[in-house]
A = this chain, B = another copy of it.
Amino acid sequence: MASPEIEALTQALARLPGLGPRSARRAVLHLLKKREAALTPLLHALERVNERLTSCSTCGNVDTTDPCAVCADPRRDTRMLCVVEEVADLWALDRSRLFPGRYHVLGGRLSALEGVRPEDLSIDALVSRVAAGGIDEVVLATNATLEGQTTAHYVADRLEALPVRLTQLAHGVPVGGELDYLDEGTLAQALRARRPVA
C-alpha cells in the first residue's frame, strides 16, 4: 500500500516497453532508495529532454535541436540519403556508424490493413528534398517486411524520374526482420552489399 504518488510513478514506468508491473515496482524502489544517484539524474534528464524535445524539420528525427544532431553534423555526406520507416530505424542504423550520409524518416509504412496511405507518410517531403538537388544516392532502408518492401517500391516509383541513384539494403537483412532488432554486423553487411533498385 504505497501512496498515490508512488503508485502513479509505478504505473508510468510500467507502461514503458520492456517493463511490466513487477519490474516497474523494482525500478521505483531503486529510484526511491538511490535518490541522489538514480532519481535526481533521471528527473533532470527527463526535464531537459521535455523542455527541448522537437522533431527535425529536415529529416523527421526526434531530437532536442532542429535541425537534429545528424542533419547539423558538418561531417555528414550530404550527397547520400537513407530513407527509413521510423526514428527507431534511424537510430539503429546510425549506431552502426557505417552510413556516412543523412536520413529521411517516413514516419511509418504503407499498410492497407492499417489504412496508412502515401499521404500519411513523409513521402512528398522526401520527393521535394531529393528534387531540390545535391543528392546523388538514395538508400531505401525500409524494413524487410511485406509492408516495408511495398513502401520501398512506392518510394522508388516516386523518385524514379529524379536524377539520383536508388539503392536498397542487401538481403543481409533477414526476411521478416525489423532493423531495430538486428545486430550491427548484419546491418553492416546489408549496407555494404546495397544494390540498385531493379
Contact = CB atoms under 8 A, between A and B. Distances in A.
Interface centre among A35, A52, A91 (most CB of B within 10 A): A91
B17 A19 contact: no
A132 interface: no
A47 B5 CA distance: 9
Contact of A63 (B2, B8, B15): B2
A35 B51 CA distance: 11
A64 B30 contact: no
A74 to B, nearest CB: 13
Interface in A52-71: 52-53, 62-65, 68-70
Contacts of A111: none
Size bracket, chain A contacts: 35 or more
Contacts of A12: 38, 41-42, 45-46
Interface stretch (A20-28, A114-122, A142-150): A20-28
Contacts of A63: 2-3, 6
A73 B3 CA distance: 11
B43 A46 contact: yes
Can you list the 10 inter-chain pairs with the closest CB atoms, starting with the nearest? A18-B23, A9-B45, A12-B42, A16-B27, A32-B62, A3-B64, A8-B45, A5-B64, A12-B45, A5-B48
